[in-house]
Amino acid sequence: MSNKKRAIIIGAGIGGLASAIRLAVLGFEVEVFEKNSYVGGKLSHFTLGEYIFDAGPSLFTQPENIEELFALAKEPIADYFEYKAQPVSCKYFFDDGVIVNAYTEIDKFAKELENALGEDGNKLKHYLNQSARTYNDIGSIFLNYSLHKSATLLKAPIIKALKAVKAAFLFKTLHQVNEASFISAKTVQIFDRYATFNGSNPYKAPGMLSLIPHLDNNIGTFYPKGGMISITKALYQLAVKKGVKFHTDSPVSQIKTEGNTVKGVVVNGQTERADVVVSNMDVYFTYKKLLNDAVRAKKILRQERSSSAFIFYWGINKSFSELELHNIFFATDYKAEFDSLFNTKILYEDPTVYINITSKCEPGLQAPLGKENWFVMVNAPANVGQDWMEYKDLYRKLIIDKLNKVLKTNIEEFIEAEEVLTPETIESKTASYMGSLYGTSSNGKMAAFLRHPNFTNDLKGLYFVGGSVHPGGGIPLCLQSAKIMSEIVRIDYKINC
């Protein structure tokens, strides 16, 4: 009989996988229960005829987060995972024919903005230097520490962060900060886009989000060999190597409690005992469905949900040399698009279109030679009961019309395979309430501080990770949530390591 404390993780998304590894390293006996037949959550993949698609997240930044997990587990990352830096973080297309390559070499990007948009390249350098300082002085606290535990905050460089805080970060929106930073409206739009990295509205989200461009432009963007699914595969293999047990097709139906202490979970009608339970499920559904706590669940909804997405996966019977790994086709009226996403919550007639093509990095592997696998996404409002099947046809036509205009071609004749993902199916597949990709949005000055913490004072032994809790959504932040949670567990259980 093992004397180890037992930890159960609900959900094998990226936050759940990282949590499993970290708790195993702390000495817990770890088991993960996943309702789907596969691990990875949103970070999964599928095959459609001759084409392979990453189903969800498509941008890989901050590889050091993955490297840290392998170093912590004392395993050589090269045996599990490879990646390479990209020369262009994104290629931007505007309806008037203007094209901008966001080179990851700053001098080259500055020259590109000068030539394409008449932007002052020095303004870009100043902005990115400020973005780096903001990230390092302020963002590092937000990303590495619990904002709800005085013990962990005492370790954070608070004084340095307070000195770095600028009034604009607190009292201006991201759009206002960008508008004051650049000459060209197109440059402003490029940097407004970073609000969508956590499903927010740049016209409402705080200027503090100007730290996000540091990741893309100063640190760089990367491509993981084998596609984004290789991240899931690597972390799963590492977790198994550390003794973690996985159970797929095993939905948790209840978190068992006695008094104010968690005692385990109910899976397939059976009670599984545990000292620690970590929920990688949307925090709203955790309270609503697993704890039967409608009051706490309702409190979660006081914060505005993030945007969702409508995704077409297209097998394209042609190679487009003018496209990169990441491509953005901008809406002409960006503000109107965000009004539609967050206010009216209806389809917008000129959506910004994002296209990810992993076959650019591995020709012949993700798609046959001479063909491409297109992950085509538009931001969509959270699911409030819209007719998504009707929207499917409308979005499809709007996207094709936009691409035809900019690329001067007939895209439809090259589509030979197609699959669709809607906010409704995102909700059902990943237990993301309303299909929100990032849980709650950052559409408010205090939104970042109002996210649910990685623990609860009401129930000893219950912890939370993933995009719906601190510090937020997206791969880097989900990985950080696991780091923050595991440090709280280490302190709570007085583990020295």
In angstroms, the CA 241 to CA 79 distance is 12
Distance from the first to the final alpha carbon of the chain:
24
- H helix count then E strand count, the chain: 19, 19
- Which tens digits make up the pLDDT trace of 424-468? 999 999 989 999 998 888 888 766 667 899 999 999 999 999 999
Q: How far apart are CA 497 and CA 492, in angstroms?
A: 13
- HSE-CB of 42 using CA atoms within 13 angstroms: 32
The pLDDT of residue 16 is 98
Each residue of 26-78: pLDDT tens digit?
A: 999 999 999 999 999 999 999 999 999 999 999 999 999 999 999 999 999 99
Tell me: do 330 and 384 sit in the same domain.
yes
pLDDT of residue 146: 77
**Domains contained in the chain, number:** 3
Same domain (yes/no): 175, 242? no
User: Are residues 212 and 149 part of one domain?
Assistant: yes
H or E, element range at 338: helix 334-339
| Per-chain mean pLDDT for the chain | 93
| Separation between Cα atoms, residue 49 and residue 52, nearest integer Å | 8
CATH number at residue 266: 3.50.50.60
Q: What angle, rounded to 10 degrees, do the helices at 64-72 and 475-492 form?
A: 30
Which of 179, 195, 216 terminates a domain? The answer is: 216
Q: What value does the mean pLDDT take over residues 398-418?
A: 97
Question: Does the pLDDT value for residue 325 go beyond 80?
Answer: yes
95, part of any domain: no
Let me know if residue 68 belongs to a domain: no
The answer on pLDDT for 277 being more than 80 is yes
Domain identity same for 188 and 273: no
Residue 1: predicted pLDDT: 41
Kindly state whether residues 235 and 257 are assigned to the same domain: yes
Q: Which residues of 387-401 are buried (b: 16+ CB within 10 A; e: fewer)?
A: ebeebeeebbebbbe
Closest alpha carbon to 26 in 242, 254, 207: 242
Bond from prior residue into 471 cis (ω within 30 degrees of 0): yes
Give the separation between CA 297 and CA 293, rounded to whole angstroms.
6
Whole-number Cα distances in Å, 431 to 143, 150, 385, 488? 24, 31, 16, 25
Task: Sort strands 29-33 and 6-10 into parallel, antiparallel or unpaired.
Answer: parallel
Query: Do residue 278 and residue 331 come from a single domain?
Result: no
